[in-house]
């Protein structure tokens, strides 16, 4: 397979797998940590309005979704890429970081959560995916 095609497919697989993990955690979160009384998360507008009802514990689920989704996506991309594995995985982390920045502008979450999310859930977790995939050392011949 041509290197450019391989890298493209590795990035796509990383984005899809990371997104699936992210959405799975987001969808299961309310079963583990119940939403506050009166919170409606069925639409983006109602979620934005419900943010003022959230307590710090309600932000555990989205943080885990962002962090684990990014780590899994980077891991998958690093495992599948034939070349530049760490760069490909970190690129997936940057895509998820861009999504986190977009969420900040759309949702109006608390500043403390935005800072923690941006600093801890994306680039560090992408690097964790790189390390777990063994992409910091050359592939055996």
The domain limits of the chain are 3-132
For the cut 70, the answer to whether the pLDDT of residue 140 exceeds it is no
pLDDT for residue 2: 85
pLDDT tens readout for residues 23-62: 999 999 999 999 999 988 888 889 888 888 999 999 999 9
CA distances from 2 to 8, 10, 27, 28, 60 (A): 10, 12, 37, 39, 41
Q: Does 15 score more than 90 pLDDT?
A: yes
CA 42 to chain centre: 21
pLDDT at residue 9 tops 90: yes
Supply the pTM of this predicted model. 0.91
Q: What tens digit of pLDDT does each residue of 85-118 get?
A: 999 999 999 999 999 999 998 888 899 999 999 9
Three-class HEC string of the chain: CCHHHHHHHHHHHHHHHHHHHHHHHHHHHHHHCCCCCCCCCCCHHHHHHHHHHCCHHHHHHHHHHHHHHHHHHHHHHHHHCCCCHHHHHHHHHHHHHHHHHHHHHHHCCCHHHHHHHHHHCCHHHHHHHHHHCCCCCCCCC
Instruction: Report the candidate in 11, 57, 7 with the shortest Cα–Cα distance to residue 32.
Output: 57
Q: Is residue 141 pLDDT above 80, yes or no?
A: no
| Angstrom distance (rounded) from CA 87 to CA 138 | 13
């Amino acid at each position: 397979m041509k290197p450019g095609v391989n890298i493209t497919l590795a990035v796509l697989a990383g984005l899809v797998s990371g997104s699936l993990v992210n959405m799975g955690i987001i969808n299961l979160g309310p079963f583990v940590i119940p939403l506050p009384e009166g919170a409606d998360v069925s639409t983006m507008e109602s979620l934005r309005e419900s943010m003022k009802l959230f307590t710090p514990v309600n932000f555990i689920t989205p943080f885990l979704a962002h962090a684990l989704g990014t780590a899994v996506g980077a891991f998958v991309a690093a495992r599948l890429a034939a070349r530049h594995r760490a760069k490909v995985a970190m690129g997936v982390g940057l895509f998820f970081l861009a999504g986190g920045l977009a969420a900040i502008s759309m949702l109006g979450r608390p500043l403390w959560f935005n800072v923690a999310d941006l600093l801890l859930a994306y680039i560090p977790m992408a690097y964790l995916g790189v390390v777990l995939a063994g992409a910091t050392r050359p592939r055996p011949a």
